[in-house]
Chains A and B, each alone.
Chain A
Amino acid sequence: MSKKLTSVLVRTCIGVAALMVAVIVAAVAIGFLSAHGAIDKDRGLLWLVGAIAVTVMVGAMVISVAWMRSIDEAAREAHKAAWFWGGCGGMSVGGVFLILASLPQAETLSIPAWFDGRTDPAAYAATGAFGMMLLMLIGYTVVWAWWWITRLRG
């Protein structure tokens, strides 16, 4: 493994560890303050989860940039091909479900309820987004593996 890549992995581990510590400290602080009536528990939780979500996603982007800069051009090319072809392929599969979901027969389906029982609009939106992301990720992985397998055969 190259030094650059090792450095990215080490920094990622440090970042994840720092985030976990920050989450624990913030959660304890919110619990303490809400128990003493200083803040509303639900509002505190909303701010905490919002801050975690933003931090994780910004961190993921920062790591992605560092990762892409640390790998060589062929590895970068594999990721680009995987993102385009795998992502589009996954989205195409998701598109079929999207069209099927517009049929009247789909009215009785409560897919979000299969997971945690929620059937509110936010649960539907999240389930749809998660399903599409999952299909794109599967496509990405398949194309990435195919790209390397076909190029490493002697």
Chain B
Amino acid sequence: MNNRLKVLRAERDWSQAELADQLGVSRQTVNALETGRYDPSLPLAFKIARVFGQPIESIFTED
């Protein structure tokens, strides 16, 4: 699954650690999400969507 996490984070000028704090996960997890090597659970995906104020499908797309 592809995602726009890195772009959205860069647009807001947040560090990985800042985003991790908002999501309640570790910086390593944010890194794994951004590289597309880890797909989040539904609850985390909803949380990500809430933090960025966008619908899930605009952040995550199928390969």
Contact = CB atoms under 8 A, between A and B. Distances in A.
- Dominant secondary structure of chain B at its interface with chain A: loop
Interface in B12-63: 24-26, 28-29, 31-33, 35, 37-38, 40-41, 44
A73 B31 contact: no
Give the interface size bracket for A toward B.
10 to 19
A100 B22 CA distance: 54
A77 B40 CA distance: 10
Given A74-B32, A151-B32, A2 B26 contact: yes
A148 B29 CA distance: 9
Among A74, A151, A153, A154, max chain B CB count under 10 A is at A74
A87 B34 CA distance: 29
Contact of B26 (A74, A77, A154): A74
Contacts, number: 38
Interface in A50-81: 71-75, 77
A150 interface: yes
Among A2, A72, A77, A154, max chain B CB count under 10 A is at A72
Contacts of A77: 38
A67 B62 CA distance: 33
B29 A72 contact: yes
A96 interface: no
B37 A150 contact: yes
B37 A151 contact: yes
B28 to A, nearest CB: 6
Interface of A: 2, 71-75, 77, 148, 150-154
